């Protein structure tokens, strides 16, 4: 078992973003009652939630957990944005003016301070902290230099007691993130076989390979999977439509849970609910269809038998 020295105990974990139709980050947020509805759906099956940013959405989630006395532990992140141009971004979104990059740097410092504030405000609910999400991988549109991520990790560790990580695709941990490994308390990797054109019969082994190549490189550092999942629709943008549906999602989820339960690997499944604000305007854009539940909160095949209160 790989993670016997994890800073928190094993349990079922899921990525949660509660934005519904007409809502999105930076715009209209879910209400207290909407988030309460979501968490009551999730709380019998999952013990850990991953939240991506320390925004109003996260504040409401933390309030609901506290007020309703729900038994969740939260990995809370600060969503840091571009501090360097990434001209290799495949969709052309990684180019900013120097003025914008300076403003982004100030914004990120503000987010890190907010993350620390919430960590200290909810020490019994927030179990770990992330300095960002997919900000160092080659294809990101919000590239942040590794040395700046290290700076943020040090800031957080100085002022908050929770273990600190950085959530990233598995590949950068093998090269450019080596200096960061010494600073974080544990490594967080993302693995998506379906984005890499793997079929369902090879998906779990590919996930294991992604995890193990990082774990074996850093045998003294705990490793968590902070994103792994299978989409249920695609318009062909990056994912072959025949390779995603609810049946295949169920197969991958069940295989993933069987493996991570056995090995006691904390794995945040991506994700709880479909989110229509993501990706392009096309209704079958794959970014919109990773939820175990549909946008209207009805269960997909994979979770149709869970106990919802």
Question: Rounded distance, CA 231 to CA 2, Å?
Answer: 27
Provide the pLDDT for residue 8. Answer: 72
In this prediction, residue 90 carries a pLDDT of: 87
Residue 5 predicted with pLDDT over 70: no
Q: CA 271, 88, 237, 247 torsion: positive or negative?
A: negative
What percentage of residues in the chain have a pLDDT greater than 90?
Answer: 92
Domain ranges, residue 263: 13-79+109-303
- pLDDT of 305 reads 85
pTM for this structure? 0.96
Report yes or no on 244 lying in a domain.
yes
Which pLDDT score, from 0 to 100, does residue 118 have? 98
In a domain, 104, yes or no: no
How many domains, in total, are found in the chain?
A: 1
Residue length, the chain?
Answer: 309
Q: Is residue 92 part of a domain?
A: no
Q: In the structure, what pLDDT confidence band is assigned to residue 13 with cuts at 50, 70 and 90?
A: very high
* CATH number of the structural domain spanning residue 268: 3.20.20.80
Within-domain flag for 84: no
225, part of any domain:
yes
Q: Which two tokens stand for residue 146?
A: 């590794």
Residue 64 domain flag: yes
d(CA 4, CA 10): 9
Task: Report if residue 213 sits inside a domain.
Answer: yes
In a domain, 5, yes or no: no
User: What is the torsion angle, in degrees rounded to the nearest 10, for the CA atoms of residue 277, residue 278, residue 282 and residue 286?
Assistant: -140
pLDDT tens readout for residues 260-274: 999 999 999 999 999
Instruction: Give me the chain's average pLDDT, please.
Output: 95
Residue 2: its pLDDT value, please? 37
Q: Tens digit of pLDDT for each residue in 160-187?
A: 999 999 999 999 999 999 999 999 999 9
């Amino acid at each position: 078992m790989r993670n016997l020295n994890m800073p928190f105990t094993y349990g079922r974990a899921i990525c949660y973003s509660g934005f519904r139709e007409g809502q999105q980050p930076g715009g209209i947020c879910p209400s207290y009652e909407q988030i309460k509805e979501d968490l009551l759906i999730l709380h019998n099956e999952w013990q850990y939630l991953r939240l991506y940013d320390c925004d109003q959405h996260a504040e409401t989630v933390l309030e609901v957990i506290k007020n309703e006395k729900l038994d969740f532990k939260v990995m809370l992140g600060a969503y840091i944005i571009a501090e360097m141009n990434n001209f290799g971004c495949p969709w052309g979104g990684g180019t900013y003016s120097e003025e914008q990059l300076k403003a982004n740097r100030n914004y990120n410092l503000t987010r890190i301070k907010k993350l620390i504030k919430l960590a200290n405000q909810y020490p019994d609910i927030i179990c770990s902290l992330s300095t960002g999400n997919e900000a160092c991988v080659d294809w990101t549109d919000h590239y942040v230099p590794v040395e700046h991520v290290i700076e943020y990790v040090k800031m957080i560790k100085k002022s908050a007691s929770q273990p600190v990580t950085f959530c990233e695709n598995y590949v950068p941990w093998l090269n450019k993130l080596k200096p960061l490994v010494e600073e974080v308390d544990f490594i967080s990797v993302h693995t998506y076989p379906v984005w890499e054109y793997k079929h369902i019969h090879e998906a779990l082994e590919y996930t294991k390979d992604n995890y193990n190549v990082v774990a074996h490189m850093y045998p003294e550092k705990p490793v968590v999977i902070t994103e792994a999942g299978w989409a249920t629709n695609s318009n062909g943008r990056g994912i072959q439509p025949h390779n995603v549906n609810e049946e295949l999602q169920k197969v991958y989820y069940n295989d993933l849970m069987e493996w991570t339960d056995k090995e006691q690997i904390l794995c945040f499944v991506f994700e709880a609910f479909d989110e229509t604000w993501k990706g392009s305007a096309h209704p079958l854009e794959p970014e919109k269809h990773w939820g175990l539940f549909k946008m209207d909160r009805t269960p997909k095949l994979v979770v149709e038998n869970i106990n919802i209160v």
